[in-house]
């Protein structure tokens, strides 16, 4: 191997080991994701390069909120939901609820997710209030309130609210679907 080839290999290795992972991490944080540095080979120790967190705090917080809310919604609406998942659901619901402080989060999916979590635990009054908040959020959003595409999600939340008011457990409601 020539000197030029060794230099090229060294620079290529440095590029793939240092520059690509750091650039990838910076691209992820711009989407609100803080992730370990990708490596060519799986490694036991994960590396997190420094990223400008404060600059992207809004996106990071949005990513946390939407991931937690949608994880609850998707898990409860999927065929694989099981009451045994309630500990994870409660944890995610607490994350979503943290966005209600100091005032209620205006995103309908956050209220819907929290309502589902309370409903799953048999906390019907809390579920009802949160279902209502999700309904109001959709109805009061000028971007979606008149959209035909939003009538089905609205009816679904209303159905779940009616079942919760009647004291019907979430597992039974989900089995009706």
Give per-residue pLDDT as tens, 2-13.
766 665 566 666
- pLDDT for residue 25 is more than 90: no
Looking at residue 35, its pLDDT comes to: 67
Alpha helices in 98-150 (DSSP H): 108-120, 124-139
Question: CA 31 to CA 46: how far, in whole Å?
Answer: 20
Average pLDDT taken over every residue of the chain:
82
Cis peptide before 102 (omega within 30 of 0): yes
Give per-residue pLDDT as tens, 139-157.
999 999 899 999 999 999 9
Give per-residue pLDDT as tens, 65-77.
999 999 999 888 7
Token pair 């309630």 is at which residue? Answer: 86
Taking every pair of Cα atoms in the chain, the longest distance, rounded to a whole number of angstroms, is: 79
Looking at residue 82, its pLDDT comes to: 65
């Amino acid at each position: 191997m020539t000197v030029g080839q060794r230099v090229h290999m060294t620079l290529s290795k440095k590029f793939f080991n240092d520059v690509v992972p750091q650039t990838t991490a910076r691209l992820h944080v711009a989407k609100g994701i803080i992730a370990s540095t990708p490596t060519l080979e799986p490694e036991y120790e994960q590396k997190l390069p420094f990223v400008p967190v404060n600059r992207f705090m809004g996106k990071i917080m949005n990513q946390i909120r939407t991931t937690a809310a949608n994880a609850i919604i998707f898990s409860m609406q999927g065929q694989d939901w099981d009451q045994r998942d309630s500990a994870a659901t409660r944890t995610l619901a607490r994350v979503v609820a943290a966005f209600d402080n100091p005032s209620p989060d205006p995103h309908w999916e956050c209220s819907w997710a929290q309502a589902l979590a309370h409903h799953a635990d048999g906390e019907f009054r809390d579920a009802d209030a949160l279902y209502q908040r999700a309904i109001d959020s959709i109805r009061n959003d000028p971007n979606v309130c008149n959209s035909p595409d939003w009538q089905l999600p609205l009816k679904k939340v209303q159905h779940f609210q009616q079942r919760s008011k009647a004291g019907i457990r979430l597992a039974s409601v989900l089995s009706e679907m």
